[in-house]
Amino acid sequence: MRKLFILSTLILAAASAKAQDLRLNDLGYFERQGVNVLVYSNSFNGGFNDEKNSGIEVIQHGVRSIQGGAVRLNNTPEQWDLVPLMTDRKVDQEKGTIEVALRYNDYDFDSRVVVTAKGKAVEIAVWLDKPVPEKLAGDAGFNLEFLPSRYWLKTFTMDGRLNRFPRYATSQTITRPNSEKPRQFKGFKTYDDRGTDRFVDPLPLETGHQIIMATDDPERMVRISSDAELKLYDGRMLAQNGWFVLRSVLPKGKTGKVVTWTVEPHAIPGWIREPNIGFSQVGYTPEQPKVAVIELDKQDIPQANAYLYRIKDDGSKEKVFTGEIKPWGPYFKYNYVKFDFSSVREPGVYYIQYGDTKTNDFLIDEHVYDKITDATTDVWVPIHMDHMYVTEGYRTWHGEPFKEGYLQAPESDHFDLHSQGATTDTKYKPYELIPGLNVGGFFDAGDFDIETGSNINVVQNFIRAWELFKPMRDETFVSQKQRYVDLHRPDGTPDILQFIEHGTLNLVAQAEQIGHMAQTLSNSVLDNYHHLGDAASITDGLHYDPSLKPYEVSADGKRSGTPDDMWAFTTRNPRLDLQAAGVLNSAARVLRGYNDDLAERAQRQADRLRAEAEELLKASKPRRDAQAEADFAWLTGNNITLKLQIALDSIPMKDEAYKQSLRPLVKEFADYVKGFDKDNPYGVPIGLGNWAGVNMILNFGIAVNYAHLYYPDIVSKDEIYRVSNWLYGCHPYHNYSFVAVVGAARPKQVFYGNNRADFSAIPGNVAPGLLFRKPDHFENFDDWPFLWGQNEGTIAGNTQYIIFGSAFKNLQ
């Protein structure tokens, strides 16, 4: 017995010493408890270049706080600076190394980065087979980026010198001739040099050979040393979404192993991630199921029970329910258990206690869902009305944008994934003013363009909300004549009707002025696209006149030589026109009796666009067939949610026999819904793309609501809470509500809205949610708004939320 005991103790001791070293795991990253080092599990291949999601990444104590490890061409790369293409990745389990080959095609420049586990640290080495190209010498370097919100106000030492990471960008810069700047994505420029022909280059905060970051915070401490010079920069000097950057410039004329770093992210001994108790921050109605999903570290031993406490009117607390913890099992990197407190029905203020973790308080009450859409309809939507002055109390959200209107886009590629073909498909010449387009419409998302497809969706969503729920809510003053919007000022007209009118105005203007739908009305220069501030200041409001010098204003004050006017991308797409025709037809129906003139114009354009689009599609038949196949693939494939939604939407227009005929499809859908209980612990479809999946989840939620409404015997009421729970806090990573200001106790604080530079949110915005990073990490930052894939609400998504919320409220 004794011998066996000693033996097992020895094995345990050996295993725990080993566990403290980083090892290359089966998922292809380096791991020790508390630290993950990923080497190109995610590469720079997204649509928008540097999304701060790629290269060598470190997840330290559960937070992905270091990324961007790669050979880069700038001290502090911006989003549109070139990123290397990963041409090869080798994981060598035996040697404990991951090697990637990186290439800049623009400069015919290849490098290799080899990462090797060395005890608690990794060695990162850059190898060159050919020296750095002459043109990049002094610019190409190995970079690693550190999340500002994780490090600001923390101390660091460089070669023993004491420092603190700055809360705000306040370091120093120099300017250099543009000719020295490495090319940016597709030759675009992220900056306006005001005619100086020079770009801004930050100076380092510190230089040396050994840096210890966050010496005052063991959760964030990192130690990095190198024989090469380490320079620490603040990327926020150039762009608010920049990170702290540590870099070593690659030496000139050298080949072989040219730079070596030792990187040791600290791990707190015995660290176990704190349980994340997922629950609905908005609260629960008394009768609904109430199940908290608790996300646990895989090393954590689940508790036997969790408890529900009630906060009484005198402020004292009372344990009212003890519930058994039920295991669900592993899902990606964590383990999940559930706590069911459905039997607690008495209205009141409650919190959950699990082990040492206690949630904030929440309500159980009949009325918890009454106001879930108000912030979105009363605040978020009106703030996104384009071509209007928008004010709220003492605050102006924005002045009237784009007073000079829109120019015909020339043949071009574009930074927001648009393009203008060789012909304009209009009567206008490139750069000619297309009159009358600066009316109506909604800003796309965190940016200020009008995506026509999204705007069509928006009008459609508002019409749907109007016709289904007839919301008479009037909290917004809208005057098209004054081009003025005032929040919280009723004007006698239901707001949804005014939103439909506003969207229709822009679509009708496009149809009348262009002759068909534009792809988008968007920025002409990249420097305006990343604008953060008042939308009215994106352009100068003066017509662009190429006969004037840049920044020069004509004597009459009406024209300028600054080429900042927005462009209309007008390549004709008959399928988009067909969609617009459908929506304009419905808009005409809704607007009749409210704005007869607009209703009549909408109807005329709907009829014309439909007739012309059908002709055009007939003329290009082979293309149409291929396109139609692509467009309708989802109807026959696995997208049962959309298939069912289309079927359910027809029910009000059809007879009982039709309704009965759908029963098998609804049953199939009910099984599909239940299937998510096995798929993941949260019971909803979770997206794994580089834009988190809230749109898919909202679609799912809307379909479940309608399926329950029409077929309560097949889809029970309990099912409709899956999506509300997820949105309002029952999800991985943290338990904050994804809807800004909704979830009284703890909504998310920061979103990628157009006020993101203020680390703020626009009320009613719905975050995309949980962004998946390969191979096993979900994340949603709530102290760093700048990753759109997890924090940017869109006009189409937020109006979809209005439909979900309205339907869901109506079922209570």
Contacting residues toward Ca ion, per CB under 5 A: 404, 416, 444, 447, 449, 474, 476, 491, 493, 495, 539-540, 542, 564-565
Which CB atom, from 110 or from 792, has the smaller least distance to Ca ion?
792
* Closest by CA position to 143, among listed 44, 35, 5, 285: 44
d(CA 84, CA 696): 32
- Residue 285 has a CB neighbour count (10 Å cut-off) of 17
**Nearest to Ca ion by Cβ — which residue?**
444
d(CA 32, CA 19): 6
d(CA 13, CA 291): 39
DSSP, res 377: I
Which CB atom, from 177 or from 689, has the smaller least distance to Ca ion?
689
* CA separation, residue 161 to residues 113, 221, 612, 684 (Å): 30, 16, 72, 51
* Closest by CA position to 38, among listed 46, 49, 28, 50: 28
Q: H-helix or E-strand containing 648?
A: helix 640-649
- Residue 246 has a CB neighbour count (10 Å cut-off) of 28
Smallest gap from residue 242 Cβ to Ca ion (A): 21
Smallest gap from residue 440 Cβ to Ca ion (A): 16
Smallest gap from residue 809 Cβ to Ca ion (A): 20
Which CB atom, from 193 or from 416, has the smaller least distance to Ca ion?
416
Smallest gap from residue 546 Cβ to Ca ion (A): 12
- Tell me how many degrees the CA angle 687-520-639 measures, rounded to the nearest 5: 30
Smallest gap from residue 560 Cβ to Ca ion (A): 6
Smallest gap from residue 48 Cβ to Ca ion (A): 11
Q: Which residues contact 221 (CB under 8 A, 6 or more apart)?
A: 212, 213, 214, 215, 265, 266
Smallest gap from residue 779 Cβ to Ca ion (A): 23
Smallest gap from residue 601 Cβ to Ca ion (A): 22
Smallest gap from residue 575 Cβ to Ca ion (A): 20
Which CB atom, from 528 or from 699, has the smaller least distance to Ca ion?
528
> How would DSSP label each residue in 170-200?
---EEEEEGGGSPPBGGG--SS--TTS-EEE
* Closest by CA position to 441, among listed 534, 568, 527: 568
The structure tokens listed for 511 are 């149809």
Smallest gap from residue 137 Cβ to Ca ion (A): 37
User: How buried is residue 542: exposed, middle or buried, by Cβ count under 10 Å (0-12/13-18/19+)?
Assistant: buried
Q: Kindly state the greatest CA–CA separation across the chain.
A: 100
Smallest gap from residue 559 Cβ to Ca ion (A): 8
The structure tokens listed for 609 are 């666009």
* CA separation, residue 253 to residues 113, 128, 129, 654 (Å): 18, 10, 11, 76
**Phi, psi torsion values for 162, nearest 5 degrees:** -85, 140
Strand partners, 278: 293
d(CA 765, CA 761): 7
Smallest gap from residue 417 Cβ to Ca ion (A): 8
Length of the chain equals: 812
How do 244-249 and 141-146 pair as beta strands? antiparallel
User: How buried is residue 741: exposed, middle or buried, by Cβ count under 10 Å (0-12/13-18/19+)?
Assistant: buried
Three-state SS at 578: helix
Which CB atom, from 488 or from 618, has the smaller least distance to Ca ion?
488
Smallest gap from residue 496 Cβ to Ca ion (A): 9
Q: Which residues contact 29 (CB under 8 A, 6 or more apart)?
A: 36, 37, 38, 39, 41, 98, 775
Which CB atom, from 365 or from 545, has the smaller least distance to Ca ion?
545
User: How buried is residue 474: exposed, middle or buried, by Cβ count under 10 Å (0-12/13-18/19+)?
Assistant: middle
Which CB atom, from 352 or from 576, has the smaller least distance to Ca ion?
576
d(CA 211, CA 156): 7
d(CA 812, CA 802): 16
Q: H-helix or E-strand containing 511?
A: helix 495-513
Smallest gap from residue 448 Cβ to Ca ion (A): 8
Which CB atom, from 358 or from 558, has the smaller least distance to Ca ion?
558
d(CA 761, CA 793): 10
Which CB atom, from 342 or from 493, has the smaller least distance to Ca ion?
493
Which CB atom, from 234 or from 451, has the smaller least distance to Ca ion?
451
Which CB atom, from 579 or from 705, has the smaller least distance to Ca ion?
579
Which CB atom, from 280 or from 476, has the smaller least distance to Ca ion?
476
Cβ contact 784:748 at 8 Å: no
Which CB atom, from 539 or from 799, has the smaller least distance to Ca ion?
539
Smallest gap from residue 798 Cβ to Ca ion (A): 14
* Closest by CA position to 212, among listed 125, 113, 142, 121: 121
Which CB atom, from 187 or from 546, has the smaller least distance to Ca ion?
546
Smallest gap from residue 528 Cβ to Ca ion (A): 10
Amino acid at 169: A
Smallest gap from residue 761 Cβ to Ca ion (A): 19
Which CB atom, from 230 or from 478, has the smaller least distance to Ca ion?
478
Which CB atom, from 644 or from 692, has the smaller least distance to Ca ion?
692
Which CB atom, from 4 or from 417, has the smaller least distance to Ca ion?
417
Which CB atom, from 40 or from 380, has the smaller least distance to Ca ion?
380
* Closest by CA position to 238, among listed 525, 539, 530: 530
Smallest gap from residue 112 Cβ to Ca ion (A): 36
Cβ contact 38:29 at 8 Å: yes
Q: Return the CA Rg of the chain.
A: 28
d(CA 186, CA 199): 17
